[in-house]
Structure 1
Amino acid sequence: MLTIALEGLQCYAHHGLYPEEQIIGNHFTLDIQVSIPEPEDPADLDESVNYEMLYTIARRIMQTPQPLLETVVHDISTAIKTAFPAIHHSRVTLKKQAPPLGGDVARSVVTLDKSY
């Protein structure tokens, strides 16, 4: 298996359950990891996953506000699998910085780990 990943993609988005979160927004960090069978020709991008496309997919989905981070990671996973059917495994982790929980919390984290 070949693993391709983007780590630490920084976004400002308006995801959150509370109306204030959807208005004010927050800082998010996104990690995406996918695995595909080893390409016969490792120099052929058509046999791999273009991480620029991973970035484009993630940025597009992050722009649509959702009440739950679970929805965001699901939508990113689904879009990536649609764009790259050869993917055998994906892992999408979304971290919200300083979630409004009434206490000192560095981040909340949601991860969707899928095998196909």
Structure 2
Amino acid sequence: MLTIALEQIRMRAFHGFYPEEQVIGNDFIVDVSVTFPETSPVDGLSDTVNYQDLFTVVKTVMDVPRPLLEQVVEAISNAVREKYPRIKRTQVSLRKMNPPMGADIRNSLVSLEREY
């Protein structure tokens, strides 16, 4: 099995349950990892997962505000699997930096791992 990943993609987005989060926005960090059967040798992009495409999928999903972070990681996972049906596993983690909780918290975290 071969794994391709992008780690600590930093983005500004407008996800959140509270109306002010959807106006003010927040900083997010996304990690996405996919595992698929190895094609040996890997001679071109058709033999692997293009991480530029992976980034484009993440950005497209992050551009659509959602009230729950669980919805965001699910949408990323589904979109990646749709683009690359041969994927056997996805793992997506989403950190909301400085969540509005009235306390000094670095980030909240939602993570989804799926096997196909």
Band of TM-score, shorter chain? over 0.9
Q: The residue matched to 1:23 in structure 2 has which SS?
A: helix
CA distance, structure 1, for counterparts of residue 92 and residue 10 of structure 2: 14
Which residue does the alignment assign to 2:94?
A: 94
Q: How does 1:62-101 map to 2 (within 5 A)?
A: 62-101=62-101
When normalised by structure 2's length, the TM-score is 0.98
CA-to-partner distance for each residue in 1:8-65, whole Å, 9 max, x for gaps? 1010000000011000000000000000111133122112101000000100110100
Q: Which moved more, 1:48-57 or 1:36-45?
A: 36-45
Percent identical among aligned pairs is: 46
Which residue does the alignment assign to 2:37?
A: 37
| CA RMSD between the two structures | 0.6
Q: Is there any run of 5+ residues in structure 1 with no aligned partner, and where?
A: none
Q: How does 1:6-21 map to 2 (within 5 A)?
A: 6-21=6-21
Q: The residue matched to 1:113 in structure 2 has which SS?
A: strand
CA distance, structure 1, for counterparts of residue 19 and residue 77 of structure 2: 26
Q: The residue matched to 1:61 in structure 2 has which SS?
A: helix
Q: Which moved more, 1:43-52 or 1:18-27?
A: 43-52
Q: The residue matched to 2:65 in structure 1 has which SS?
A: coil
Aligned residues: 116
Deviating beyond 2 angstroms after TM superposition, the runs of 4 or more aligned structure 1 residues are none
CA distance, structure 1, for counterparts of residue 82 and residue 45 of structure 2: 17
CA distance, structure 1, for counterparts of residue 39 and residue 69 of structure 2: 33
2:54 partner amino acid: L
CA distance, structure 2, for counterparts of residue 100 and residue 89 of structure 1: 32
